[in-house]
Structure 1
Amino acid sequence: MEPYKIRFLAAASAVIAGMCACSSAFGADAGPIKIGVAVGLSGANSVVAPAVVQSSQLAVDEINAAGGIIGRKVELDIADDASDAVGAQKAYDKLVFKDNVDAIISMETSAARNAALPIVARGKKPFIYTSFYEGRSCNRWMYVNGWVPDQQVAPVVDYFMKSKGAKTFYLVGNDYAFGRGMLDFTAKYIAAHGGKVVGQEYLPIDGTDWTPILSKIRAAHPDALISATAGGAPNVALAKQFKATGLTMPYGNLAIDEGTAKAMGDVASGMYMSGSYLTSIPTKQNRSFLDGMKKKFGGEMKTPNELSEPQYEAFFLYKAAVEKAGSTDPDKVVKALGEVSFEGPRQRVSMDKSRHTPLAMQLGQIQTDGSVKILQTFSDVDPGDQCPKLK
């Protein structure tokens, strides 16, 4: 054989061997990146879950259209957590151990989240929790891009005290981690600022009759009412029954989202709320997000809201973390999640403050058509020291 042919064949063999080695080394990364979404398709969160699923679908479409994550397509794996602890255990067992997803991005009740965290930790899965919640839930594998009480309570209470002259407050909520956590924080904030809580009552998360509690509110004559229920169905039930009583004191809802408000229409009219996302936020990124939702879902689009928009952002935060880490390796991704940011509809979001994110908060009042009028905006509100022991 001629010398140049020998050299050519040797070089070709080396290239083929290198390609085989690369294929072997990265064979596990050749397939799609699977992201699990556990959400309450049934139960208390079933009112808001469809919007959360839609925003997840839009995010995946946009990421895949731009080439995926580190060259790999993204696939959704959606599981119903039934909005409760038992359902969450089943959903997470499936996502983590049967489906072996690469990460989980989920909007859930606090009961579902608390049940899921031990499973996430055992399976070592990066987890972005996208719901607003009662705060101070900490786990090595979890980051949060929703608001916490340190960011959300002050706008409502301060407005009632300063603009409405409120000195006495009645607090009502659902009897689980979110309701109690939110109202305990609110009660302490009210007391620290010279107000007084004249009643604090709870209804089970699956309870539907608020009549006895509303009777107590009428008897107490508070200057203002503040509620913290599970998002969705409990919000609707309480608002309808409150309206039917004819009570007229200012009502601040710490758990309502714009989508639920629009679905409720006039029932929610006059209610005050505080949040980090409203469809009326005048940013270029928000207009692009809303246009994308309308184009993809048309007349089937659910109103984007405080519970669905952070879900959309979280996919891009995960994408940025994987790209910074250079792989989907869980340990590397978890570290990177605290170092990346995303310029989204709510402006810049970065989970770098004790695994939570500073947010621009909006104080709004719900109008007769379910839209929300922005009364005040508070920029870059710090979430406080949520998880000091986790670095």
Structure 2
Amino acid sequence: LEKNVFYTGAAPNQQAIPAVEYLMSEEGGGAKRFVLLGTDYVYPRTTNKILRAFLKSKGVSDADILEDYTPFGHADYQTIIARIKQFAAEGKKTAVVSTINGDSNVPFYKELGNAGLKATDVPVVAFSVGEEELRGVDTKPLLGHLAAWNYFMSVDNPQNKAFIDKYRAWAKKNAVPNADTVVTNDPMEATYVGLHMWKQAVEKAGSTDVDKVIAAMGGQTFKAPSGFTLTMDATNHHLHKPVLIGEVRADGQFDVVWQTQQPIRAQPWSPFIEGNEGKQGL
């Protein structure tokens, strides 16, 4: 962790771990076997290292975890989906944890549908699929599959309505195509919160001096479009964030099927990885 950086995105315990806990729960289908499928770069590999250790702590054996990676832009998922189908047919309830990034999600979900793997049979929870990724995509193969984020555009509260209205007004003013139907998403909300907290910190410090603003950032709060009041942690510089799990709808939005009651403090150093015990960050 770097003292000059304030982190507005999710730490593993604010997205990946709760998503897998949900899949393992009775409400989430009671998964016993897991496919960890991602794009081949540092984020998916690090997330899956943490998830593998977490699953092991819950008594899931290596034989019940299938881990696979594909390059950026990968489009041919036939072989991988066939492996998932075979893996899922071996008797235990199976779920897929997807850290597939970008355009590869379209052929992945399409092939999932072609293979007849419905969300009720093998649910997929994704950490990189949100409202923007679903724009203009045929959602039929995705219906019922899940995404874990800290915000969804569909949440109903005054802060979110104002956030969406302001973004669409900006889009219209700047001649963005289809300005009336542009969508918000989790990374946008995280950035919006971060900028407002920086503004508040500058006002508190009465200066844009870096060290003074850093000192003023810790403990800043902001009522976010998620509907929760978020706090910037003064120790590890991560936002305390709620966790929401959403189910894909036909219109490319999400129905929230589970959420935390309050924001969760980030664990930048996952306690499930050896050597991280007791690390809190700054």
TM-score band, normalised by shorter chain = 0.7 to 0.9
Post-superposition shift, 1:349?
A: 2.0
- Residue among 229, 248, 261 paired with 1:366: 248
Contact persistence 2:153–2:184 (CA under 8 A): yes
Instruction: Report which structure shows greater RCO (CA 8 Å, sep ≥6).
Output: 2
Structure 1 counterpart of 2:94 = 223
Deviation sequence 1:290-333 (CA, Å, 0-9, x none): 12123332432521011212122221111112112222222222
Shift of 1:385: 4.9
Give the structure 2 partner of residue 291 of structure 1: 165
- Do the aligned partners of 1:269 and 1:370 also contact (CA within 8 Å) in 2? no
1:375 alignment counterpart:
257
Deviation readout 1:172-208 (Å, 9 max, x if unpaired) = 0011111111122222222222334431001123433
In the alignment, what sits opposite 1:279?
153
Distance 2:3 2:75 in 1: 36
Match of 1:195, as an amino acid? Answer: V
- In 2, Cα distance between equivalents of 1:330 and 1:237: 45
Trace 1:193-342 onto structure 2 (pairs within 5 A).
193-196=58-61, 197-221=64-88, 223-230=94-101, 232-248=102-118, 249-264=122-137, 265-298=139-172, 299-300=178-179, 301-342=181-222
Q: Which residue of 1 aligns with 2:15?
A: 152
User: SS of the residue aligned with 1:309?
Assistant: helix
1:345 aligns with 2:225: yes
The 5 Å alignment of 1:133-148 reads: 138-148=1-11
Deviation of 1:245 after TM superposition, in Å, equals 2.4
Partner of 1:388: 280
Letter in 2 for 1:376: W
Amino acid at match of 2:201: A
Deviation at 1:389, TM superposition (A): 4.4
Q: Which amino acid aligns with 2:100?
A: T
What amino acid does structure 2 have at the position aligned with 1:381?
I
| Counterpart contact for 1:342–1:350, Cα < 8 Å | yes
Q: Please state whether the residue corresponding to 1:259 is helix, strand or coil.
A: coil
1:170 and 1:226 in contact (8 A); partners too: yes
Q: Say which SS state the counterpart of residue 172 (structure 1) adopts.
A: strand
Aligned partner letter, 1:235: N
- C-alpha distance in 2 between matches for 1:205 and 1:334: 36
Give the aligned residue type for 2:254.
V
Q: Indicate if the aligned counterparts of 1:266 and 1:370 stay in contact, CA closer than 8 A.
A: no
> If you compute each CA radius of gyration, which structure gives the higher value, 1 or 2?
1
Q: Give 1 or 2: higher helix fraction.
A: 1
The aligned residue for residue 357 of structure 1 is 239
CA distance, structure 2, for counterparts of residue 213 and residue 203 of structure 1: 9
How far did residue 154 of structure 1 move? 3.4
Q: Which runs of 5+ in 1 are unaligned?
A: 1-137
State the TM-score, normalized to the length of structure 1.
Answer: 0.60
One-letter amino acid matched to 2:133: T
Q: State the one-letter code of the partner of 2:7.
A: V
Q: What's 2:274 paired with?
A: none
Deviation at 1:144, TM superposition (A): 0.8
The answer to whether the 8 Å contact 1:261/1:366 transfers is no
CA contact (8 A) 2:12 2:267 kept: no
Q: Name the structure 1 match of 2:47.
A: 182
CA contact under 8 A between 2:12 and 2:268: conserved in structure 1? no
In 1, Cα distance between equivalents of 2:169 and 2:268:
40
Q: Is the CA contact 2:3–2:237 (under 8 Å) kept in the aligned structure 1?
A: no
Q: Specify the SS of the correspondent of 2:6.
A: strand
Aligned 8 A contact 1:270 1:366 in 2: yes
Q: Identity, % of aligned pairs?
A: 27
Q: Where in structure 2 are there 5+ consecutive unaligned residues? A: 173-177, 270-278
Instruction: Spell out, residue by residue over 1:1-57, the C-alpha distance to the aligned partner (whole angstroms, 9 max, x if none).
Output: xxxxxxxxxxxxxxxxxxxxxxxxxxxxxxxxxxxxxxxxxxxxxxxxxxxxxxxxx
